[in-house]
Amino acid sequence: MSYFDLEYEVLIRNLKSDFLVCKQLEWQGDTRLRAARDIYNKHLRRLQKFVRSNFSRFDAGNISSLLGIPARPLAPDEKVIQRIWMGGPPPSIALEAIKLWDGAIDEVSAIHDVRYESILWVWDARQLQGDALFVASLDSTPPCCTIGAYAAGRHLHAVRSLRALASGLCPEILGLLDELHAKKYYVNLADFFRLLVLRECGGLYLDADTMPHKSATIFLSKPEVPDYMDLLPAQDGGAAQPCQLSWMNLYHDENGVLIAKKHDPAVAAMVGQMRRQLQAMALPAPDKKRDAGAARAYAALLHDATYGVWRQGMGRSFIACHDLAQSYSVLHDQKKDIIISGLHGMRLVVDAFTNAAVPLNPQERHSYDKCMAALDRLDWKLEHIHDLERIADVCFSEEVPRMAYAPQLRAEPASCHYYSFLSHDEKLDRINALFGAYLVSKNAERIRRGNFWSKTKGRERQRHLHPQLGGRSGARAYDPS
């Protein structure tokens, strides 16, 4: 270990100790808490400056942690990218997003000799029947449940069966899960299975179309999860309650990115609660085509039994990775960037939190009508996805970038962001699909220009390795229809 690494380890361990001092004073209601936090922030800034000033000697692969809080690293067998897709072969936008993540992983693997496995979870082998990118095989023992491999991007990805996983681990609700799958309640199924997969396998869960941003390489170079006790604020006059924070989502109340170690007790408890609530669901489930109103009401109950259970854990067992990075990461860059966020007038018209009507204002309505009319004239077919810029008003936000983004419309207020399960506007659904493809393409364009990913190793310690390219190309042309 170099002198630089030794000094870094002393500083990061002292910083973690400072954090625990702050937590202890917080629990005790001690008046010295503010001074302790000032000391912590001073020491964090000192360590960040030390790394910046000596970055040529820095190597994230050689140090114990990048977070100034108690944390646990993902084990080698937990360095797994987990994705779920139901309802046929993965669409082109998912394949493009997978290629972008492969690029980030290749970047980190070449520098730090880190290896990640990638797993695509589907319902069963019949889902991919006829897909030229799928090669069938069989190892159906839970939690493996492998049914083949998929050639997406530059690598082969293991394919596993969600139904086989459920059959082995939660047979008491298999009948319900089969019916939900048959009637295409895919969103609700995914909200349950992402937790079941993480409980059994650990790793990094990604919605299949989630795309990486610059700082993804920071996380991938040193994947770790929080490991400390916190206090829940007192409610209704009661005392504050201690809680153990042990895993992460990415941002606020979004569950499209989740990170956990396998068999995490909090994740396991959450899966158990979901199973009990799902077992209480009435059957048969309404048919979405025959009775749309009843199906929406049933989906809302499923939402409460799955996502609703998960959301109760916010701040109780998991915390947002983006918040941790901003407050405690040694390599976090506070510089803001201009991010494509949405299209003017393209948003939900009902508040997702309060269910109150939020109609488009005149300016938004004009943008909406103008864009939809132009797309109708083109029969919704664009010669190139970037042509969307000519017919829609693209919105931007200035923000500290997250390590990943869902390719979907964001809006103001945030409670009117687009979510497929909340939308009842078919044209809005279609424009969101176009916007997602546009956003992924723009992100890929920025990556191709080079110098995109966050640096995790200084030049003095670079080894100039190049990733091995394997597998078959998974590229598919984007079909805007």
pLDDT for residue 96: 97
* HSE-CB of 298 using CA atoms within 13 angstroms: 22
Cis-peptide into 226, omega within 30 deg: no
**Strand 337-343 relative to strand 241-245, pairing:** unpaired
CA nearest neighbour of 264 among 78, 404, 80: 78
16, part of any domain = yes
pLDDT for residue 35: 97
pLDDT for residue 240: 76
Tell me the residue type at 66.
L
307, part of any domain = yes
Query: 289 and 212, same structural domain?
Result: yes
Collapsed DSSP state (helix, strand, coil) of residue 282: coil
Q: Which residues contact 38 (CB under 8 A, 6 or more apart)?
A: none
Query: 351 and 316, same structural domain?
Result: no
Angstrom distance (rounded) from CA 174 to CA 168: 9
Angstrom distance (rounded) from CA 160 to CA 481: 29
Angstrom distance (rounded) from CA 347 to CA 357: 12
Burial of residue 161 (number of CB atoms within 10 Å: 0-12, 13-18, 19+)? buried
415, part of any domain = yes
Residues shown for the chain: 481
405, part of any domain = yes
Angstrom distance (rounded) from CA 12 to CA 183: 51
Helix then strand then coil, in percent of the chain rounded to 5, is 45, 20, 35
Question: Residue 387: enclosing H or E segment and its boundaries?
Answer: none
**Angle at CA 400, nearest 5°, toward 430 and 447?**
65
CA nearest neighbour of 349 among 264, 428, 248: 428
120, part of any domain = yes
pLDDT for residue 317: 97
Q: How many C-beta neighbours within 10 Å does residue 477 have? A: 5
Of the three residues 276, 299, 328, the one that is the final residue of a domain is: 328
pLDDT for residue 153: 80
Query: 361 and 405, same structural domain?
Result: yes
214, part of any domain = yes
pLDDT for residue 139: 63
Angstrom distance (rounded) from CA 91 to CA 411: 25
pLDDT for residue 446: 96
Report how far apart the first and last C-alpha atoms of the chain are (Å, whole number).
56
Query: 134 and 11, same structural domain?
Result: no
The total number of structural domains in the chain stands at 3
Residues of the chain with pLDDT under 70: 138-143, 234-237, 461-481
pLDDT for residue 468: 39
Query: 46 and 84, same structural domain?
Result: no
- Would you put residue 184 in left (φ > 0), alpha (ψ -120 to 50) or beta? left
Cis-peptide into 91, omega within 30 deg: no
Angstrom distance (rounded) from CA 80 to CA 261: 10
Angstrom distance (rounded) from CA 293 to CA 297: 6
Of the three residues 274, 294, 328, the one that is the final residue of a domain is: 328
Query: 272 and 162, same structural domain?
Result: yes
Query: 302 and 207, same structural domain?
Result: yes
Q: Which residues contact 98 (CB under 8 A, 6 or more apart)?
A: 83, 90, 118, 152, 153, 157, 208, 474
What domain range is 22 assigned to? 3-58
**Using CA of residue 70, residue 330, residue 118, residue 213, what is the dihedral sign?**
positive
Residue carrying structure tokens 């992924």 = 440
pLDDT for residue 441: 97
Query: 428 and 288, same structural domain?
Result: no
46, part of any domain = yes
456, part of any domain = no
Query: 119 and 100, same structural domain?
Result: yes
pLDDT for residue 467: 40
Of the three residues 328, 353, 380, the one that is the final residue of a domain is: 328
Query: 38 and 89, same structural domain?
Result: no
Burial of residue 127 (number of CB atoms within 10 Å: 0-12, 13-18, 19+)? buried
Q: Which residues contact 176 (CB under 8 A, 6 or more apart)?
A: 278, 279, 281, 283, 285
Angstrom distance (rounded) from CA 428 to CA 372: 9
pLDDT for residue 236: 67
Angstrom distance (rounded) from CA 3 to CA 268: 42
pTM strictly above 0.85: yes
Q: How many C-beta neighbours within 10 Å does residue 397 have? A: 13
Cis-peptide into 143, omega within 30 deg: yes
Residues 216-266: tens digit of each pLDDT: 999 999 999 999 999 887 666 677 788 999 999 999 999 999 999 999 999
